[in-house]
Amino acid sequence: MERVSANLAYGGVQGVYRHASDATGTDMTFSVYVPPHAPGAKLPVVWYLSGLTCTHANVTEKGEFRAACATLGLILVAPDTSPRGEGVPDDPAGAYDFGLGAGFYVDATEEPYAANYRMWSYVTEELPALIAAEFPADMARQSILGHSMGGHGALTIGLSFPDRFRAVSAFAPIVAPGQVPWGEKALTGYLGTDRSGWRRHDAVALIEDGARVPALLVDQGEADGFLKEQLRPELLAIECEKAGIDLTLRMQPGYDHSYYFISTFMADHLRWHAERLG
């Protein structure tokens, strides 16, 4: 693991790191904020998954999470959203919603993406092992949140590993990718046309199929231009009510899809996670 940068912030260290990934077959870059702590202490870990077009840098530079993490004693890990580098296939037309920056947190099975686009394995297996080995992380206390495509990733991963993640939340998530254009394009391209294989990567379908967590927190801007066509939080609300999942869905008047929205409510989410992480 190579340290790209390290900066003191609120008494802790904001680092950016690079390593060679077995899962993706590429170098991967991620950021980790470690708050001030006593020598030898192990700290709970919050995973943040970013959205379309983003890298680790978006939340690291604009998420405004460090003050809350320092106060609450939380490590925050922000992976990239896709493999990158020479030879990694992209969208043939260069579109922003597929390929580089748009890995959708799945393990692709379709060519030419299957060799590199293994973000599910990277985020759920390889990177956690690295974090456990290299940072003062208490891996018995983990939680996960994300934005947009990363909100989709946080929901599906949290629902798939309910014993691992004590809290799951999202900002403006794609809750039902199997029912919206972004998701249909991505899941077809990465996983093929058999929609039955999509269900484990669709939060609404996972809940329909029996996946459960005690509670979810979702913030959604009412002025979000993607709300009606791509995000559709009402579908998640319907399934959570049927399943008895305690969903707190907060529709925020005037807020859009940007990091101005995310940074406004980031501390709320981190406090909610901290309560459940102990």
Q: Annotated catalytic sites, by residue?
A: 148, 224, 257
Asked if 60 and 31 touch (Cβ cutoff 8 Å), the reply is yes
Asked if 52 and 22 touch (Cβ cutoff 8 Å), the reply is no
Q: Please state whether the peptide bond connecting residue 83 to the residue before it is cis, i.e. omega within 30 degrees of 0.
A: no
Measured between alpha carbons, how far is 227 from 229 in angstroms, rounded to an integer?
A: 6
Q: Classify 272 in phi/psi space as left (phi over 0), alpha (psi -120 to 50) or beta.
A: alpha
Residue with tokens 């999509």: 198
The closest of 141, 203, 199, 118 to 169, measured between CA atoms, is: 203
Sheet with 43-49, strands from edge to edge, namely 2-9, 12-20, 27-34, 75-78, 43-49, 137-147, 165-171, 215-221, 246-252
